[in-house]
A and B are shown apart, each in its own frame.
Chain A
Amino acid sequence: MSGAVKDIEEIVREHPFFEGLLEPFGKLISGCAKNVQFQPGEYLFHEGVAADQFYLIRQGCVALEIKAPGRGAITFQTVREDEVVGVEWLIPPYRWSYDARAVDFTRAIAMDGACLRGKCEADHDLGYEVMKRFMPVLIQRLQAAQMQILDVYGEQA
Chain B
Amino acid sequence: MDHQGPSVLTAVGLQALFDSLRRRGYRIVGPKVRDGAIVYDDIDGAADLPQGWTDEQAPGRYRLARRDDAALFGYAVGPHSWKAFLHPSVQRLWTARREGDAVTVTPEPTSAERFAFIGVRACELKAIAIQDRVFVGGAHVDPHYQARREGAFIVAVNCAEAGGTCFCVSMGSGPKVEASYDLALTEITEGEHRFVIEAGSEAGREVLAELPERAALDGDLDAAEAVVQRTAASMGRQMRSDDLRELLAANLEHPRWDDVADRCLTCGNCTMVCPTCFCTSVEDSSDLTGAESSRTRRWDSCFTMDFTHVPGGSVRASARSRYRQWMTHKLSSWVDQFGTSGCVGCGRCLTWCPVGIDITEEVRAIRESPSKPGVGT
Contacts and interface: CB of A to CB of B under 8 A. Distances in A.
A155 B312 CA distance: 7
Is the contact region of chain B dominated by helix, strand, or loop, or is it mixed?
loop
B130 to A, nearest CB: 36
Contacts of B138: none
A91 B311 CA distance: 42
Contacts, number: 8
A156 B311 CA distance: 6
B5 interface: no
Is the contact region of chain A dominated by helix, strand, or loop, or is it mixed?
loop
Interface in A115-157: 155-157
A155 B310 CA distance: 11
Nearest to A157: B312
Contacts of B313: 156-157
Contacts of A157: 311-313
Interface residues of B, number: 3
Interface in B111-154: none
Contacts of B311: 155-157
B231 to A, nearest CB: 52
A156 B313 CA distance: 8
A4 to B, nearest CB: 55
Contacts of A156: 311-313
A97 B311 CA distance: 35
Contacts of A155: 311-312
B361 to A, nearest CB: 35
A99 B133 CA distance: 64
A157 B314 CA distance: 10
A157 B317 CA distance: 14
Interface string B40-81: 000000000000000000000000000000000000000000
B310 to A, nearest CB: 8
Nearest to B310: A157
Interface in B310-334: 311-313
Nearest to B313: A157
A152 to B, nearest CB: 10
A69 B311 CA distance: 31
Would you list the 8 A-B pairs with minimal beta carbon distance, nearest first? A157-B312, A156-B312, A157-B313, A155-B311, A156-B311, A157-B311, A155-B312, A156-B313
5 contacts: A155-B311, A156-B312, A156-B313, A157-B312, A157-B313
